Protein backbone atom coordinates (compact mmCIF):
# COMPACT_ATOMS: atom_id res chain seq x y z
CA UNK A 1 0.00 0.00 0.00
CA UNK A 2 1.58 3.23 -1.17
CA UNK A 3 1.85 6.38 0.91
CA UNK A 4 1.31 9.41 -1.30
CA UNK A 5 1.79 13.10 -0.54
CA UNK A 6 -0.78 15.30 -2.26
CA UNK A 7 0.15 18.89 -3.08
CA UNK A 8 -2.66 21.15 -4.33
CA UNK A 9 -1.03 24.15 -5.99
CA UNK A 10 -2.39 27.63 -6.68
CA UNK A 11 -0.23 30.44 -8.07
CA UNK A 12 3.07 28.81 -7.09
CA UNK A 13 1.92 27.91 -3.55
CA UNK A 14 0.65 24.72 -1.99
CA UNK A 15 -2.78 25.48 -0.58
CA UNK A 16 -5.23 23.65 1.65
CA UNK A 17 -8.86 24.16 2.54
CA UNK A 18 -11.88 22.36 3.89
CA UNK A 19 -14.06 20.53 1.36
CA UNK A 20 -11.91 22.19 -1.33
CA UNK A 21 -13.03 25.66 -0.21
CA UNK A 22 -11.50 28.44 1.94
CA UNK A 23 -8.02 27.82 0.60
CA UNK A 24 -4.94 29.08 2.42
CA UNK A 25 -1.24 29.01 1.59
CA UNK A 26 0.81 26.37 3.39
CA UNK A 27 4.17 26.33 1.64
CA UNK A 28 6.39 26.13 -1.42
CA UNK A 29 5.59 23.06 -3.57
CA UNK A 30 9.22 22.27 -4.35
CA UNK A 31 10.31 22.54 -0.72
CA UNK A 32 7.43 20.37 0.47
CA UNK A 33 7.98 17.78 -2.27
CA UNK A 34 11.65 17.55 -1.35
CA UNK A 35 10.86 17.23 2.34
CA UNK A 36 8.29 14.49 1.88
CA UNK A 37 10.56 12.61 -0.53
CA UNK A 38 13.42 12.70 1.97
CA UNK A 39 11.04 11.50 4.69
CA UNK A 40 10.03 8.48 2.64
CA UNK A 41 6.79 9.05 0.72
CA UNK A 42 6.42 6.65 -2.18
CA UNK A 43 4.73 8.98 -4.64
CA UNK A 44 3.85 12.67 -4.96
CA UNK A 45 0.73 14.11 -6.58
CA UNK A 46 0.74 17.70 -7.81
CA UNK A 47 -2.75 19.08 -8.52
CA UNK A 48 -3.31 22.47 -10.16
CA UNK A 49 -6.13 23.85 -8.01
CA UNK A 50 -7.09 26.65 -10.42
CA UNK A 51 -6.54 25.01 -13.79
CA UNK A 52 -10.27 24.90 -14.48
CA UNK A 53 -10.39 28.71 -14.42
CA UNK A 54 -7.63 29.04 -17.03
CA UNK A 55 -8.33 25.85 -19.01
CA UNK A 56 -4.67 24.87 -18.82
CA UNK A 57 -2.09 23.47 -16.40
CA UNK A 58 0.45 25.81 -14.84
CA UNK A 59 2.57 23.11 -13.21
CA UNK A 60 4.93 21.94 -15.95
CA UNK A 61 7.83 24.10 -14.75
CA UNK A 62 7.32 22.93 -11.17
CA UNK A 63 7.39 19.29 -12.27
CA UNK A 64 10.58 19.88 -14.25
CA UNK A 65 12.32 21.34 -11.21
CA UNK A 66 10.99 18.74 -8.79
CA UNK A 67 12.28 15.88 -10.95
CA UNK A 68 15.85 17.09 -10.52
CA UNK A 69 15.94 16.00 -6.88
CA UNK A 70 12.79 13.96 -6.17
CA UNK A 71 13.14 10.36 -7.29
CA UNK A 72 9.76 8.80 -6.65
CA UNK A 73 6.87 8.63 -9.12
CA UNK A 74 5.22 12.01 -9.71
CA UNK A 75 1.67 12.50 -10.94
CA UNK A 76 0.27 15.78 -12.27
CA UNK A 77 -3.37 16.78 -12.52
CA UNK A 78 -5.48 19.79 -13.40
CA UNK A 79 -5.94 21.46 -16.75
CA UNK A 80 -4.83 18.56 -18.94
CA UNK A 81 -7.21 18.74 -21.91
CA UNK A 82 -5.37 17.41 -24.94
CA UNK A 83 -2.85 14.78 -25.98
CA UNK A 84 -0.32 17.58 -26.34
CA UNK A 85 -0.93 18.54 -22.69
CA UNK A 86 -0.27 14.96 -21.64
CA UNK A 87 2.86 14.81 -23.77
CA UNK A 88 4.14 18.04 -22.18
CA UNK A 89 3.47 16.67 -18.70
CA UNK A 90 5.39 13.47 -19.41
CA UNK A 91 8.21 15.39 -21.10
CA UNK A 92 8.45 17.56 -17.98
CA UNK A 93 9.14 14.41 -15.97
CA UNK A 94 5.76 13.30 -14.68
CA UNK A 95 5.20 9.55 -14.54
CA UNK A 96 1.40 9.82 -14.59
CA UNK A 97 -1.31 12.28 -15.54
CA UNK A 98 -4.55 12.74 -13.63
CA UNK A 99 -7.70 13.65 -15.54
CA UNK A 100 -11.14 14.70 -14.36
CA UNK A 101 -13.01 17.44 -16.22
CA UNK A 102 -11.61 16.49 -19.62
CA UNK A 103 -12.78 12.91 -19.12
CA UNK A 104 -16.25 14.06 -18.07
CA UNK A 105 -16.50 16.24 -21.17
CA UNK A 106 -15.43 13.42 -23.46
CA UNK A 107 -14.62 9.93 -22.21
CA UNK A 108 -12.84 9.29 -25.50
CA UNK A 109 -10.02 11.47 -24.22
CA UNK A 110 -9.18 8.76 -21.68
CA UNK A 111 -9.11 6.11 -24.39
CA UNK A 112 -6.92 8.30 -26.60
CA UNK A 113 -4.40 8.83 -23.78
CA UNK A 114 -4.37 5.15 -22.88
CA UNK A 115 -3.78 4.10 -26.48
CA UNK A 116 -0.99 6.59 -27.09
CA UNK A 117 0.84 6.55 -23.77
CA UNK A 118 -0.40 3.39 -22.00
CA UNK A 119 -2.96 2.84 -19.28
CA UNK A 120 -0.25 2.83 -16.63
CA UNK A 121 0.22 6.58 -16.99
CA UNK A 122 -3.41 7.74 -16.73
CA UNK A 123 -5.26 8.20 -13.45
CA UNK A 124 -8.98 8.93 -13.37
CA UNK A 125 -9.75 11.50 -10.68
CA UNK A 126 -13.20 11.36 -9.10
CA UNK A 127 -14.48 14.14 -6.83
CA UNK A 128 -17.38 12.43 -5.03
CA UNK A 129 -20.19 13.89 -2.93
CA UNK A 130 -22.94 12.10 -1.08
CA UNK A 131 -26.37 12.58 -2.62
CA UNK A 132 -29.52 13.24 -0.54
CA UNK A 133 -31.25 10.27 -2.15
CA UNK A 134 -28.30 7.97 -1.45
CA UNK A 135 -25.12 7.05 -3.24
CA UNK A 136 -22.56 9.52 -4.53
CA UNK A 137 -22.41 11.95 -7.40
CA UNK A 138 -19.43 12.96 -9.53
CA UNK A 139 -18.38 16.62 -9.33
CA UNK A 140 -15.81 18.76 -11.12
CA UNK A 141 -14.23 22.19 -10.55
CA UNK A 142 -12.99 21.34 -7.05
CA UNK A 143 -16.30 19.80 -6.03
CA UNK A 144 -18.40 22.79 -7.09
CA UNK A 145 -20.09 21.58 -10.24
CA UNK A 146 -22.32 18.48 -10.40
CA UNK A 147 -22.05 16.36 -13.52
CA UNK A 148 -25.18 14.25 -13.10
CA UNK A 149 -23.02 11.12 -13.12
CA UNK A 150 -23.22 8.47 -10.41
CA UNK A 151 -19.83 7.55 -8.98
CA UNK A 152 -20.07 3.78 -9.44
CA UNK A 153 -21.32 4.13 -13.00
CA UNK A 154 -18.49 6.55 -13.74
CA UNK A 155 -15.90 4.20 -12.26
CA UNK A 156 -17.07 1.52 -14.70
CA UNK A 157 -16.85 3.93 -17.63
CA UNK A 158 -13.34 5.05 -16.67
CA UNK A 159 -12.18 1.46 -16.35
CA UNK A 160 -13.64 0.54 -19.72
CA UNK A 161 -11.97 3.59 -21.28
CA UNK A 162 -8.56 2.47 -20.06
CA UNK A 163 -7.53 4.31 -16.88
CA UNK A 164 -4.78 2.62 -14.93
CA UNK A 165 -5.83 3.91 -11.51
CA UNK A 166 -8.61 5.78 -9.72
CA UNK A 167 -7.91 8.77 -7.47
CA UNK A 168 -10.97 8.95 -5.23
CA UNK A 169 -11.52 12.18 -3.29
CA UNK A 170 -14.43 12.54 -0.89
CA UNK A 171 -15.37 16.21 -1.16
CA UNK A 172 -17.50 15.85 1.98
CA UNK A 173 -14.52 14.72 4.05
CA UNK A 174 -11.64 16.49 2.29
CA UNK A 175 -9.68 18.76 4.63
CA UNK A 176 -12.03 18.16 7.56
CA UNK A 177 -9.73 15.69 9.35
CA UNK A 178 -12.89 13.88 10.49
CA UNK A 179 -12.08 10.58 8.81
CA UNK A 180 -12.54 8.92 5.44
CA UNK A 181 -15.85 8.14 3.78
CA UNK A 182 -15.40 4.42 4.35
CA UNK A 183 -18.65 3.49 2.63
CA UNK A 184 -17.56 5.32 -0.53
CA UNK A 185 -14.10 3.79 -0.54
CA UNK A 186 -15.42 0.29 -0.02
CA UNK A 187 -18.07 0.66 -2.72
CA UNK A 188 -15.58 1.93 -5.30
CA UNK A 189 -12.87 -0.55 -4.36
CA UNK A 190 -15.27 -3.46 -4.76
CA UNK A 191 -16.63 -2.19 -8.08
CA UNK A 192 -13.34 -1.95 -9.99
CA UNK A 193 -10.28 -4.02 -10.77
CA UNK A 194 -8.19 -0.85 -10.99
CA UNK A 195 -5.98 0.32 -8.10
CA UNK A 196 -7.76 2.89 -5.92
CA UNK A 197 -6.00 5.86 -4.29
CA UNK A 198 -7.98 7.24 -1.34
CA UNK A 199 -7.86 10.97 -0.65
CA UNK A 200 -9.71 13.17 1.81
CA UNK A 201 -10.41 13.09 5.51
CA UNK A 202 -7.50 11.68 7.50
CA UNK A 203 -7.02 13.33 10.86
CA UNK A 204 -5.90 10.74 13.39
CA UNK A 205 -4.74 7.10 13.55
CA UNK A 206 -8.23 5.83 14.35
CA UNK A 207 -9.41 7.02 10.94
CA UNK A 208 -6.89 4.89 9.08
CA UNK A 209 -7.53 1.90 11.32
CA UNK A 210 -11.26 2.22 10.66
CA UNK A 211 -10.74 2.36 6.90
CA UNK A 212 -8.29 -0.53 6.75
CA UNK A 213 -10.52 -2.61 8.98
CA UNK A 214 -13.04 -2.64 6.12
CA UNK A 215 -11.11 -2.35 2.88
CA UNK A 216 -7.53 -2.29 1.65
CA UNK A 217 -7.08 0.39 -1.00
CA UNK A 218 -3.92 0.41 -3.08
CA UNK A 219 -2.74 3.78 -1.82
CA UNK A 220 -3.67 6.60 0.54
CA UNK A 221 -2.91 10.23 -0.24
CA UNK A 222 -2.26 12.62 2.63
CA UNK A 223 -2.17 16.41 2.58
CA UNK A 224 -3.20 18.53 5.59
CA UNK A 225 -1.70 16.26 8.26
CA UNK A 226 1.66 16.46 6.51
CA UNK A 227 1.50 20.15 5.67
CA UNK A 228 0.58 21.12 9.24
CA UNK A 229 2.93 18.58 10.87
CA UNK A 230 0.08 16.71 12.51
CA UNK A 231 1.67 13.40 11.52
CA UNK A 232 5.05 12.38 10.15
CA UNK A 233 5.65 10.20 7.13
CA UNK A 234 7.16 7.61 9.48
CA UNK A 235 4.00 7.65 11.63
CA UNK A 236 1.82 7.09 8.56
CA UNK A 237 4.04 4.30 7.24
CA UNK A 238 3.73 2.56 10.61
CA UNK A 239 -0.07 2.86 10.54
CA UNK A 240 -0.27 1.52 7.01
CA UNK A 241 1.94 -1.42 7.93
CA UNK A 242 -0.22 -2.10 10.96
CA UNK A 243 -3.34 -2.02 8.82
CA UNK A 244 -1.81 -4.37 6.25
CA UNK A 245 -1.36 -6.91 9.00
CA UNK A 246 -4.96 -6.60 10.18
CA UNK A 247 -6.84 -6.74 6.87
CA UNK A 248 -7.24 -9.83 4.70
Enzyme catalytic residues: 8, 127
Altogether, the residues listed in the chain come to a count of 248
Neighbours of 43 (CB within 10 A): 20
The CA radius of gyration of the chain, in Å to the nearest whole number, is 16
CA distance 214 to 120: 27
CB contact at 8 A, 36 and 233: yes
Angle, helices 108-117/151-161, rounded to nearest 10 degrees = 40
DSSP for 167-188, please give it: EEEETTTTTT-S---HHHHHHH
CA distance 195 to 7: 20
CB contact at 8 A, 196 and 217: yes
Which H helix or E strand runs over 189?
helix 182-191
Helix, strand, coil percentages (3-state) for the chain, rounded to 5, are: 40, 30, 35
Amino acid sequence: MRLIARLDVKNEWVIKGIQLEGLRKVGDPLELAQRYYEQGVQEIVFMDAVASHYDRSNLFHIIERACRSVFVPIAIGGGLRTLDDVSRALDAGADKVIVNSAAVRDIRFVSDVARRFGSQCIVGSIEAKRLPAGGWGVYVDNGREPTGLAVLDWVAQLEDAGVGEILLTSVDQEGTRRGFDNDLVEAVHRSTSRPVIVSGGYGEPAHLRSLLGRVRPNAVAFAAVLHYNKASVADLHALLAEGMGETA
